[in-house]
Amino acid sequence: MAASLQHAIEQQQLPLEIVRNGSRGMYWLEPLIEIDTGHGRIAFGPVTRDKVGEFITSRFWEHSTEHPLYLGPTEDIPYLKNQQRVTFARVGLINPLSLEDYCAHNGFKGLQAALNMPAQDIVTCITDSGLRGRGGAAFPTGIKWQTVLDTPSDRKYVVCNADEGDSGTFSDRMLMESDPFSLIEGMVIAGLAVGADLGYIYLREEYPLTKQIFEEAIEIARVNGYLGKTVAGSDRQFDLELRLGAGAYICGEETSMLESLEGKRGEVRPKPPLPAVKGLFGKPSVINNVITLASVPTILAHGPAVYQGYGIGNSRGTLPFQLAGNLKHTGLVELAFGGTLRVLLKDFGGGTRSGKPMRAVQVGGPLGAYLPESQWDTPLDYEAFLAIDAMLGHGGVVAFDESVDMCEQARFSLEFCSIESCGKCTPCRIGSVRGTEVIDRIRQAVENEEKRVESIELLEELCDTMIDGSLCAMGGMTPFPVRSALLHFPEDFKSSA
Amino acid sequence: MNKISHRQSELAKHVADIVQELKLEQGALLPILHAVQDELGYVPPESVPFIADSLNLSRAEVHGVIGFYHYFRSSPPGRYTVQICRAESCQSMGSRVMEDHAKELLGIDFHETTADGEVTLLPVYCLGNCACSPSVRVGNEIFSHVDKIRFDTIIDGLGHQAVEVK
């Protein structure tokens, strides 16, 4: 589409110049075209391929407000206006691979600040910001960094976990494709903070476009002196390498990812030792998710208090929520902690795309609970979600309408675990297979209530075993969606539908 | 030299070049396997002893790594690799129905290749395109909002003769 627009501009000598920016995260309005008027941007969308011709002949840039695809100033679209874009401040605004754009939008300010600070002060700044791991586990980032800083070693690593395997999540992908330099800057700062001079990004194979864009970004950063022996003209060195996963969900678990980076089967390591003490190649390693690391530059640039000022309780800052599945307005919504799921689903999401009543919402990926409407007013806060046996995780929100069969969803959770289990511990490897078999028995036992109740009890016990006995979150949390389905949607475990 | 041994020596040369280039990297095995599969479409089982030797690993270790990861394959795929997302977001938008339709249309199950060698069908668990579910990936291209009709269009667009409908 951009090509046909470019062609028209050249042919007709139109007074337009095309800039390919990243996504604004309003996918139902895409392809979105914005005109930079010099005082704010005006949006049009969705400009689908079949509409491009008419779009150009209408000379949309002259009579903008009358065009049927006119959306008004981009920043005034409620979906964007009602967000708190902190980590995603530049996403959708800039040309992702333009260093000039990046610098013009506060890029490398955090790095400049960090280069003038002792390592301990950088770590303290992150600790004071209240930033917690955005990959899902929500571990305080500052504490992790402090451990790596305090562990003496001849070599340390920064590892970015970009193995974004949770269904319903795409914020890592979007950030790496639309603002890659922010992640690079965050990783360099992490290196300065803990004394590491090499970083790895472990990216999933399923993201080929991300790989292409991010490798280009690394090369641009290197050529311009932001990576290499003299970072931004200083005497500090730091370099980055991108490594690809190979289609294994478990490699999003940090120790499994380390094994994979070392060239082995991605089997989970028992902890301790913590990776912060003995991580990649046996060396102290900072391991953080993409969003965690990409939040670091803004914290350094504006001070910890600004970031800490967002959020509630122990959930400080913002989380980029990803509205996915059966919603009218799917997309990326970055919000300070403290809102409610209902606001995300209704005000932002606009209800279901199918138009049927919404029935269940899975938050936090395939290991997250399914929430019925009675729980949609739970505050978006790590602890509040834990209190109802759910999790915010990486911020994925997948909505289902009334056609969903929750028994089938519970079965899928166990089936997925059996396919993706690394096989190291028995509760996960065997438990998941037995779990799918038990659910099949429940479905076959519609006529035999006694057998059905017995099988449900067995499933409950199996869930306990997996929670208590698994080595990592894969086996330990697969029971969450299963249990929530049983608890909140028991009627689906009665019919064989 | 007959055709088969000629092809084998070609394969061996490709693998040797790749291993030579990458073997000094830290944790070189995955980058090597990726490079081999990028070049040849799969990791030939006959290359395992050579890769193992070069990295000072046992054949069992290399074999174990290839077997662990869903992405690596030990036999050539069809001309087109079609991946259908089976994860929750796509399920919520009807991927189960589309998946059944795809299998019926192609006359194969997941992990199989059509008899004419054109299409290999694979499951995938999330392509990060969840705002536009259901998603399908062909090669490095991702397709959004794929229902039965759109799936047919994608397959028709692959540039091979219409697949025989069972």
Find the CB nearest B29 among A263, A281, A420.
A263
pLDDT band of A3, cuts 50, 70, 90: confident
Q: Tell whether B77 lies on the interface with A, counting CB pairs under 8 A.
A: no
Decide if B131 and A170 are in contact by the 8 Å CB cutoff: yes
Q: Please list the residues that pair with B84 across neighbouring strands.
A: B123, B136
DSSP letter, residue A269? P
The per-residue pLDDT for A39 is 84
Task: Note whether A463 and A395 are within 8 A (CB).
Answer: no
Domain limits, CATH 3.40.50.11540, in chain A: 99-308
Decide if B92 and A400 are in contact by the 8 Å CB cutoff: yes
The per-residue pLDDT for A55 is 87
Task: Please give the Cα distance from A287 to B5 (Å, whole number).
Answer: 47
Of the listed ranges A55-69, A177-191, A346-360, A444-458, the one predicted with least confidence = A55-69
The per-residue pLDDT for A495 is 64
Residue A289 tokens, joined: 């998710």
Domain limits, CATH 3.10.20.600, in chain A: 311-401
Task: Please give the Cα distance from B36 to B18 (Å, whole number).
Answer: 7
Q: What is the pLDDT of residues A427-461, one digit of tens each?
A: 999 999 999 999 999 998 877 899 999 999 999 99
pLDDT band of B163, cuts 50, 70, 90: very low
Best CA proximity match to A184, nearest among A224, A231, A232, A240:
A240
ipTM above 0.90, yes or no: yes
How would you list the strands of the sheet with B112-113, edge to edge?
B112-113, B119-124, B80-85, B136-138, B141-143
Q: A314: which residues sit within 8 A by CB, 6+ positions away?
A: A130, A132, A381, A382, A383
Assigned fold of A99-308? Rossmann fold (3.40.50)
Q: Tell whether B88 lies on the interface with A, counting CB pairs under 8 A.
A: yes
Mean pLDDT, rounded, of chain A: 96
Task: Note whether A191 and A197 are within 8 A (CB).
Answer: yes
Task: Please give the Cα distance from A191 to A381 (Å, whole number).
Answer: 29
The per-residue pLDDT for A497 is 47
Residue A122 tokens, joined: 């950088």
CATH 1.20.1440.230 correct for A406-493: yes
Domain limits, CATH 1.20.1440.230, in chain A: 406-493
Decide if A325 and B70 are in contact by the 8 Å CB cutoff: no
Task: Note whether A427 and A415 are within 8 A (CB).
Answer: no
Find the CB nearest B130 among A325, A416, A420.
A325
Task: Note whether A56 and A5 are within 8 A (CB).
Answer: yes
pLDDT for residue A291 is more than 60? yes
Q: The dihedral of CA A141, A478, A378, A168: what is its sign?
A: positive
CA atoms within 13 A of residue B129's CA, in its CB half-sphere: 25
Assigned fold of A311-401? Ubiquitin-like (UB roll) (3.10.20)
Chain B CB contacts of A168 under 8 Å are: 87-89, 130
The per-residue pLDDT for A379 is 97
Q: What is the pLDDT of residues A37-55, one digit of tens each?
A: 888 899 999 999 888 888 8
pLDDT band of B162, cuts 50, 70, 90: very low
Q: Tell whether A247 lies on the interface with B, counting CB pairs under 8 A.
A: yes
Task: Indicate which of B89, B122, B153 best probes the interface with A, i.e. most A CBs within 10 Å of its own CB.
Answer: B89
